[in-house]
């Protein structure tokens, strides 16, 4: 199968590309500025800047059977500071890709990496099912929901087979620490370096943490399945920031210092996802417990040495 992956140089994108190549798919991987992180005879890198109004995606999607749209340029804190830029790059940029499918006689199946932690907002039902009210309290959530809605419109009007996976907080070995995103990776890195872990709020902020291998499994299942619409992808189990600190401290066999800061307006207090629909439709079931995933992440960082 010929598969296009946008955002292929990101944490989730790199893991997905590796899995697709292992399954002998022909992969077109888009990148913006980064140097390609891997090479393979069946991997074809293409430069793509969806924020560029002159970007033409029609050639990129030609002959493709499946698209994974993972490209996203802003983390929640950045999106809230730059509302117009977030919408221009992420919503309008996604529309350039979606519009390229409108003129195709047989458009490819598209799987979009949405965010279960932000599209629902403050939960009135825990864990949240897909029919939970959508009340995002951050620009990141608004933008993700907007792209979902455009895909829903295309499905109704053009018969596009589109799936939006509302993912929990993806973590695991290989997650970067350059941007302020990803509690597990950042906490583990700081603890290993003997530096205080920065925590916003009292540590009770709770998320549904999804190990990278389980996240890729969900993408593969959605891409090969016949379902469409919105699906939660999470464990159904919530862990607080304090829980993560405690697990890291247990693995390291020592206490870790904390650097506490006031809570942030765009952080919902609790985000836990009911993924039973994905289990029924795709047969997807998460396999990795948070304790084991954190251990794997710590082991990976320790292997990178002091410069990790």
Phi, then psi, of 307 in degrees rounded to 5: -80, 0
**pLDDT for the residue numbered 180:** 61
- Higher-confidence position of 212 and 59: 212
Q: Given pLDDT bands bounded at 50, 70 and 90, which one contains residue 56? A: confident
- Domain CATH number, residue 95: 3.40.50.720
Residue 169 binned pLDDT confidence (cut-offs 50, 70, 90): very high
Cα separation, 108 vs 2, whole angstroms: 10
pLDDT at 305: 57
Write down the pLDDT at residue 170.
97
Q: What's the pLDDT at 229?
A: 97
Class of residue 194 by CB neighbours under 10 A (exposed 0-12, middle 13-18, buried 19+): exposed
- Domain assignment present for residue 259? The answer is no
Q: pLDDT grade, residue 78 (50/70/90)? A: confident
Rounded CA separation 84/79 (Å): 9
Residue 166, pLDDT > 80, answer yes
Structural domain including 94 reads 2-171+209-234
Above 70 in pLDDT, residue 307?
Answer: no
Q: Is pLDDT at 308 greater than 60 in this prediction? A: no
Tell me whether residue 112 is in a domain: yes
pLDDT tens per residue, range 88-130: 999 999 999 999 998 888 999 999 999 999 999 999 999 999 9
Residue 102 located in a structural domain: yes
Residue 203 placed within a domain: no
Whether residue 53 is predicted with pLDDT greater than 70 in this model: the reply is: yes
- Judge whether 69 and 45 are in contact, CB under 8 Å: no
CB 138 within 8 A of CB 83: no
Q: Give the model's pLDDT for residue 121.
A: 97
> Does residue 249 fall inside a structural domain?
no
Is residue 103, in this structure, part of any structural domain at all? yes
Concatenated DSSP letters of the chain:
-EEEEETTTSHHHHHHHHHHHHTT-EEEEEESSSPPS---TTEEEEE--TTSTT---HHHHTT-SEEEE------HHHHHH-HHHHIIIIIIHHHHHHHHHHT-SSPPEEEEEEEHHHHSBS-SSSSB-TTS--B--SHHHHHHHHHHHHHHHHHHHH---EEEEEE-EEE-TT---SSS--HHHHHHHHHHTTPPEEEESSS--EE-EEEHHHHHHHHHHHHHSS--EEEEES-S--EEHHHHHHHHHHHHTS---EEEE---TT--SB--B--HHHHHHH-------HHHHHHHHHHHHHHH-TT-
pLDDT in tens, 18-47: 999 999 999 999 987 767 778 899 999 998
Mean pLDDT of the chain, nearest integer? 93
In which band, very low, low, confident or very high, does the pLDDT at 86 lie, cut at 50, 70 and 90?
A: very high
- Judge whether 87 lies within some domain: yes
**How many other β-carbons are positioned within 10 Å of the β-carbon of residue 74?**
20
The string of pLDDT tens digits covering residues 202-258 is 999 999 999 999 999 999 999 999 889 999 999 999 999 999 999 999 999 999 999
Question: In terms of residues, how long is the chain?
Answer: 308
Look at residue 126 and tell me if it is in a domain: yes
Query: How sure is the predictor about 179, in pLDDT bands with cuts at 50, 70 and 90?
Result: low
* Mean pLDDT, residues 184-193 taken together: 96
Domain tally, the chain: 1
More confident residue, 158 or 134: 134
């Amino acid at each position: 199968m010929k598969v296009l992956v946008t955002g292929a140089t990101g944490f989730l994108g790199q893991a997905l590309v590796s899995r697709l190549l292992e399954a002998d798919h022909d992969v077109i991987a888009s990148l913006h500025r980064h140097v390609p992180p891997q090479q393979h005879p069946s991997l074809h890198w293409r430069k793509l800047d969806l924020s560029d109004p002159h970007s033409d995606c029609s050639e990129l999607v030609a002959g493709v059977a499946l698209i994974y749209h993972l490209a996203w340029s802003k983390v929640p804190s950045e999106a809230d500071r730059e509302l117009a830029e977030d919408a221009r790059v992420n919503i309008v940029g996604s529309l350039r890709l979606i519009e390229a499918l409108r003129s195709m006689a047989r458009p490819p199946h598209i799987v979009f990496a949405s965010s279960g932690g932000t599209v629902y907002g403050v939960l009135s039902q825990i864990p949240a099912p897909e029919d939970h009210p959508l009340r995002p309290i951050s620009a990141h959530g608004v933008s993700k929901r907007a792209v979902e809605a455009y895909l829903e419109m295309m499905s109704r009007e053009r018969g596009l087979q589109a799936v939006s996976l509302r993912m929990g907080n993806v973590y695991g070995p290989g997650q970067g620490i350059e941007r302020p995103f990803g509690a597990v990776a950042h906490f583990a890195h700081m603890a290993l370096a003997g530096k205080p872990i920065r925590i916003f709020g009292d540590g009770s902020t709770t998320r549904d943490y999804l190990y990278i291998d389980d996240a890729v499994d969900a993408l593969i299942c959605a891409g090969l399945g016949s379902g469409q619409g919105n699906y939660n992808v999470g464990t159904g189990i919530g862990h607080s920031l304090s829980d993560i600190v405690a697990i890291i401290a247990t693995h390291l066999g020592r206490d870790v210092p904390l650097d506490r800061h006031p809570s942030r307006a765009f952080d919902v207090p609790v985000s836990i996802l009911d993924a039973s629909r994905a289990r029924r439709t795709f047969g997807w079931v998460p396999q990795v417990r948070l304790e084991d995933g954190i251990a794997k992440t710590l082991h990976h960082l320790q292997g990178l040495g002091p410069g990790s």
